[in-house]
Amino acid sequence: TFVTLRISVIGTGYLGATHAACMAELGYEVIGVDVDKAKLESLAAGILPFHEPGLPELLRKNVASGRLRFTDDYEDVAANADIHFITVGTPQRADSQSADLSYVDGAVDSLLEHITGDALIVGKSTVPVGTARRLSEKIAQDAKPGSNIAIAWNPEFLREGFAVKDTLRPDRLVYGLEDGRGLELLREVYASVLAQDVPEIVTDLETAELVKVAANAFLATKISFINAFAEVTETVGGNIKTLADAIGHDKRIGRQFLNAGVGFGGGCLPKDIRALQARVSELGLTQTMGFLGEVDQINLRRRDRVVSLASNMLGNELAGKHICVLGVTFKPNSDDVRDSPALDIAVRLYNAGAEVSVYDPEGNANAAGRFPRLNYVDSHQEAARNADLTLVLTEWQEFRDLDPNELGEVVASKMLIDGRNVLDRPAWREQGWVMTGPGEYFELNSNNAATGPVPVQQ
C-alpha cells in the first residue's frame, strides 16, 4: 500500500518556504516549522514575506489543498512527520567571519526532545564542514530511548528569482549519508525530480557540506576574477565585456558569472566565502582559502570605485548634490537587499552629504527598513528628477530599457554611471550623456573612453 510521505521543513525563510511549498506540490504532507509566529500566520494565509516569482501561487494552492500547514509546535512535528528538513539560517556572526549555527542546533535539539520512533533528519542549510558529523554525535547522545534517527546532508543550490525551478528541476541532487541510511527515503522524496534525468550524487557527509560552499566560492571567485580585470582595463583601456566574451567561448571557462559590475552581494555568496575561510582556518589550514580574502577585497573595491567615480564626476564634492540611484537590491527580480552593493553605495553617497533618491521596482521597502533616511520614490522618473548624476546599480529590465532622451528631459545633468554595463553607451553618448561603467577607462573631459586603447597614465 502506498503511504504518503510526511515531511517537516524547519525554518521558513527563503529556502524553507520554497522547499515546503515544492514538497507539498510533489504531493507530500508537509508541515512548515518556525519560531516566528507572525511569519507562520502570514504563510498559512498564503502571503510570502519576500518576492519570489511563482512561489505565492504554489504556497496558496498547497495550503488550500491541506497538504501544507504551519506550526511552531515540535510535538506536533515529531508526531506527524518522518523526514525533517533543516532549512534554518546560518548567518555570519556579529563578532567574526564564521557562521552562527545556533538555529541549526536549536532545531535538532527540539526534534530530539520529541522524536520517539524512526526519523530521518536532512540538513539543507549551508554549514561549515564537520557540522553534520557533530550533529550525528549529538543524535547518538541525546535521542530518546527507543527512537531511531538517521542524519543526511542534502545541500540546496537555489538562486533567488529561480527558487521554484531550482528546487523542482535542479542541476543536481547531492546527498551526504552517514552509513547509507536515508538513501531510500531521499530517493522516494525526489523520485519525480530524478525522473527528469537530474544527476544524483550520493556521498559522505563532509563532501556534501563542501559541495555547497565550493560551488559558491567558485562563483564568487569567477565574479571577482573578471572584476580584477576590470580594474586593469579601467587603468589601461580595453573592453571588459569583449574580454569576458572572448575567454567565455572557451568551454572550460564559460561565459556565465563573468559580468563585471558593482560586485556580488546577497544572503549567500559574501557570507559563505567568509565562513569557509573561517572554518578552514579553524582546521589549521590558514593559508588554504587565503585567496578568498582577495576575492572579498576585490568585490568590496567595486563599491569604492563607484563612489569615487561619482565624486569625481561631481567635481569632487558630493555635499548637496542630487544623486539618482536606480536599483538597490543585490540583483534584479528580487526584493533582497542583504549585503547589497547597490544599497551600500547609496548609503555611502548619502553619508558623504549627497541627497540620494532611490527607486527599485521591488526593493524600496526592504531598503527603507534598513536605511530610512534615503529618499525612496515610486518611479525611475521621480528618482531622476533634477539629478546631477544617475547611477544604475541593479540590472532590472526596466533600467535596461531606459530611454536616454526621456531620462535626459528630467535630470539636471546628463551624467550616468552604468554600474552593471547594461546600457548601450554609444547610443546614450549620442544623446549627450557623459557616462561610464565598470571596466572602462574614463577621463571626465574626454568621455570617449570606450573607443580604442588609451595610453597608460603615469
Q: How far is the CB of 158 from ligand UDX (least distance, A)?
A: 5
In the set 41, 47, 118, 159, which binds ligand UDX (CB under 6 A)?
159
Binding residue for ligand UDX, selected from 303, 331, 414, 425, defined by CB under 6 A: 331
| CA pair distance 367, 381, nearest whole angstrom | 19
All three cell numbers of 239, joined, read 573592453
What distance in Å separates the CA atoms of residue 206 and residue 327, rounded to the nearest whole number?
A: 38
338 in a known ligand binding site: yes
Dist CA 382 CA 51 (whole Å): 23
Closest CA to 277 of 213, 341, 209: 213
List, in order, residues 6 or more apart from 33 with CB less than 8 Å away: 8, 9, 10, 11, 12, 70, 71, 72, 74, 77, 107
Binding of residue 158 to ligand UDX (CB under 6 A): yes
Among 13, 89, 265, 363, binds ligand UDX (CB under 6 A): 265
**Is 264 near ligand UDX (CB under 6 A)?**
yes
C-beta separation of 128 from 92 below 8 A: no
DSSP state of 457: P
Q: Select which of 268, 280, 349, 387 is catalytic.
A: 268
C-alpha cell at 228: 580584477
Nearer to ligand UDX, 149 or 343 (CB): 343
Is 157 annotated as belonging to a binding site? yes
**Is the CA virtual torsion 325, 216, 220, 279 positive or negative?**
positive
For ligand UDX, which is the closer residue by CB, 371 or 433?
A: 371
Residue type at 182?
Answer: G
H helices of 314-445, in order, are 341-351, 364-370, 380-384, 397-400, 404-410, 425-430
Position among 74, 229, 330, 350 found at the interface with ligand UDX (CB under 6 A): 330
Q: Which of 269, 337, 422, 435 binds ligand UDX (CB under 6 A)?
A: 269
Q: Parallel, antiparallel, or unpaired: how do β-strands 173-177 and 148-153 relate?
A: antiparallel
260 is in an annotated binding site: yes
- 320: annotated binding-site residue? no
Minimum CB separation from ligand UDX for residue 57, in Å? 20
Chain positions 182 to 201 lying near ligand UDX, rule: CB under 6 A, are none
Choice between 216 and 277, CB closer to ligand UDX: 216
Asked whether residue 90 is marked as a ligand-binding residue, the answer is yes
234-263 residues near ligand UDX, rule: CB under 6 A: 257-259, 261, 263
DSSP state of 423: S
By CB under 6 A, the residues from 208 to 227 that bind ligand UDX are 216, 219, 223
The residue from 25, 34, 52, 160 that contacts ligand UDX (CB under 6 A) is: 160
Task: Please indicate if the annotation marks 158 as binding a ligand.
Answer: yes
d(CA 408, CA 305): 24
Residue pair 71/31 in contact (Cβ under 8 Å)? The answer is yes
Q: Report if residue 50 touches ligand UDX, rule: CB under 6 A.
A: no
| Distance (Å, whole) CA 157 – CA 166 | 7
C-alpha to C-alpha distance for 172 and 293, rounded to whole angstroms:
28
268 is catalytic: yes
Stretch that binds ligand UDX, among 1-9, 158-166, 369-377, 436-444 (CB under 6 A): 158-166
Active-site positions read: 268
Would you tell me which residues interact with ligand UDX (CB under 6 A)? 157-160, 216, 219, 223, 257-259, 261, 263-266, 268-269, 330-331
Which residues carry a binding-site annotation for NAD(+)? Answer: 34, 39, 90, 126, 160, 271, 338
Which residues carry a binding-site annotation? Answer: 34, 39, 90, 126, 157-160, 212, 257-261, 265, 271, 331, 338
